[in-house]
A and B are shown apart, each in its own frame.
Chain A
Amino acid sequence: MSKKPNRTSRRGFLRTALAGGAAAIASPALTADSNPANLPPNVADWSKTLGEGVAVRTYGKPAKSEAHIGRRDVSWLTASPQSSVSFTPLHEIDGIITPNGLCFERHHSGIAEVNPADYRLMLHGLVDKPLMFTLDDIKRMPRVNRAYFCECAANSGMEWRGAQLNGAQFTHGMVHCVMYTGVPLKVLLNEAGLKPSAKWLLLEGGDAAAMTRSLPLAKALDDALVAYRMNGEMLYPENGYPVRMVLPGWEANIWVKWLRRIEVGDQPWHTREETSKYTDVMADGQARRFTYVMEAKSVITNPSPQAPINHKSGFTVLSGIAWSGRGKIARVDVSIDGGRNWRPAKIDGPAWDKALTRFYYEFDWDGSELLLQSRAMDESGYVQPSKTELRKYRGVNSIYHNNGIQTWHVRSNGEVENVEVG
């Protein structure tokens, strides 16, 4: 939201923020790059000369001055960039749809570059007839369009023990929401014919991690999609081109990318990603497994540490996103005093089933310090808990499924920091 970000100072800020320094955000230089010759009463250059013609930009890009916007990683998190994560810049986008190039990435063995002509999806196991599909086969089938959020189970996982990363991109950026086009999985299963003993499916990726997860049959027959488009375009390679699983409301790890094989069985496989990883260790050392559903969660994306408030006081809009793996968002409340008092936020745009939902809260800021929070409620009646409440149930070693309420501290100069309140 800082309109004219000075790129070096922004990067410098992130680095110092992560290094624990973060003395101050370079005061946002709103007018630094401005040229008086373009301002009234003068007439701007672009009002006098012809611009570039059509088809020079065969594939459009954001304006040059927006080029700094992008996914970022936190290099100390992982040993190698091939098994790592980059985060969606939530503070730089509005509405509910994530642009394809900004969707967070999580790979376990890098991006598989699949030749679509050599793409095959194998479906076998407890079926009447094992089948092999080409990409053209899949595109020939009946299809549906659905927008869903996709959130990594480890989103906010670095925050279990306390406020740690300064930026909504880093605390909450392992979520995105695009419109998928794909074939309901049940259509494919109907082609092969399920045996009566079928209860579980194994989903396997075609990357060098051969990512595998066990999927209960009920979900497969419910809303699971075998998707090949995002926001109308073919999937991007980093999101599983040409075909990935979409399992609405469930943790992203099971949305297997570069899908190459589906095996039908009668029990779960207990693969590495559902035993060693993606299981939630509770305070007593026991672990929950198959915790698929992503619970109701929300975060204020503007302002946030990477997007300070640039006006001293006056009319202010807080903007944020809410989502729930159990259905639609019913309501979002906002607090500006650290959770003592709450007001309902305004939801704008569609509040679709298991999709990101945009909320706004408008108020007159008197320029005093704020402790901003948001609290999502879904149609099942679940209310997003405070971090303290969540820790009471789950301890601090769960890594996954941290949907606690986020607090941003806004100083009177508009600077924002990730804090915890008690």
Chain B
Amino acid sequence: MSRWVSSALLGAGILALIGAGVAAAPKSAGHAPRAEAAKPLGIGREAKSDEIAGWDIDVRPDGKGLPPGKGTVREGEAIYMQQCAGCHGEFGESAGRWPILAGGENTLGSNDPVKSIGSFWPYASTVIDYIRRAMPFGNAQSLTNDELYAVTAYVFYLNDLIKDEHFELNANSFKSIKLPNERNFRDDDRDVAEKSLWRKSPCMTNCLPGPARITGRARVIDVTPESGKGPKVE
């Protein structure tokens, strides 16, 4: 083998070898090119229903995908204190720099919008879907369905979306929970709302009335790691 490689590298007919291979390749049988995306390739096997059940954990706003199970605010409080409060704070106010889970009502139009489940999120389903797939952080998909309903109920309670601590959250009662900010979302409208940003010939000369003035500098803004003042990447 090494002898062959070295002679090939030395130029002894590797091109000729390749050329011969091409010339000898059969042209027809079993080598017909396929028209793209015509009939299926027949690759992959059927997914079984129990396999799908194990992974299909999404929940939609209309409740499709909600698992069986139930849990009350009361039951949720114990789970929350044990598994969530360490990061998100006893009242969802955040312990340190972890995300808040509650608060911020009527701040969205202000200089400092606080986006929480109660103040910002449009759908209750997103809360249960997200906790189910991703929380507690570092121990994802560990909650039982009953624990999931209970702790979600408690998170709603922290946001005043449920007032009664005996409230039992389940696939049915879930539908009664509406988040107040739903109507304040609209689909992407940049093409229309910002139409003026499409322009045939942008200004090339004397585009400012006078020389450009510096109005802000990176180094005057205090973004020391310790102050934690910087905005967050979301």
Contacts and interface: CB of A to CB of B under 8 A. Distances in A.
A176 interface: no
Contacts of B40: 190-191, 193
Contacts of B56: 124, 261, 263
Nearest to B119: A285
A421 B190 contact: no
Interface stretch (A49-57, A58-66, A354-362, A381-389): A381-389
Contact of B212 (A20, A82, A337): A337
B185 interface: yes
A186 B37 contact: yes
Contact of A340 (B58, B185, B193, B207): B207
A164 B221 contact: yes
B55 A285 contact: no
Interface stretch (A38-46, A236-244, A271-279, A307-315): A271-279
A340 B211 contact: yes
Contacts of A132: 44-47, 51
Given A333-B204, A421-B213, A289 B188 contact: yes
Contact of B41 (A75, A77, A160, A187): A187
Interface in B16-49: 34, 36-37, 40-47
A260 B55 contact: yes
A353 interface: no
A276 B44 contact: no
Among A74, A160, A193, A210, which residue has the most Cβ atoms of chain B within 10 A? A210
Contacts of A377: 202
Given A109-B140, A122-B52, A209-B134, A17 B218 contact: yes
Interface residues of A, number: 109
A214 to B, nearest CB: 10
Interface stretch (B66-74, B123-131, B166-174): B123-131
B3 interface: no
Contacts of B217: 163, 409, 417-420
A131 to B, nearest CB: 4
A33 to B, nearest CB: 28
Interface in B183-214: 184-190, 193-194, 197-200, 202-208, 211-214
Interface in A1-56: 17-22
Contacts of B140: 109, 208-210
Interface residues of B, number: 90
Interface stretch (B6-14, B154-162, B223-231): B223-231
A299 B231 CA distance: 22
A395 B223 CA distance: 21
Contact of B216 (A163, A283, A375, A400): A163
Contact of B57 (A123, A158, A210): A210
B35 to A, nearest CB: 11
Contact of B197 (A208, A288, A383): A383
A47 to B, nearest CB: 26
B212 A371 contact: yes
Contacts of A267: 60, 62
A78 B134 contact: no
Contacts of B108: 281, 285-287
Contacts of A279: 185
B134 A288 contact: no
A393 B193 contact: yes
Interface string B104-139: 000011110101010011110110011001100110
A123 B47 contact: yes
A209 to B, nearest CB: 5
B215 A20 contact: no
Contacts of B62: 267
B179 to A, nearest CB: 9
B126 A154 contact: no
A250 to B, nearest CB: 11
B141 interface: yes
Contacts of B137: 80, 82-83, 109
Interface string A157-199: 1101111111000000000000000000011001101000000
Among A76, A133, A277, A278, which residue has the most Cβ atoms of chain B within 10 A? A76
Given A77-B233, A295-B190, A342 B203 contact: yes
Contact of A270 (B57, B60, B190, B228): B60
Given A157-B233, A187-B37, A275-B126, 13 more contacts: A18-B224, A20-B221, A79-B98, A133-B43, A157-B231, A212-B58, A269-B60, A275-B185, A276-B126, A339-B212, A381-B198, A383-B199, A389-B197
17 contacts: A19-B222, A20-B220, A20-B222, A79-B96, A109-B138, A208-B134, A271-B126, A285-B110, A288-B187, A295-B190, A339-B207, A342-B207, A377-B202, A382-B198, A385-B197, A418-B217, A419-B214
Interface of B: 34, 36-37, 40-47, 51-52, 55-62, 96-99, 108-111, 113, 115, 117, 120-123, 125-126, 129-130, 133-134, 137-138, 140-141, 184-190, 193-194, 197-200, 202-208, 211-234
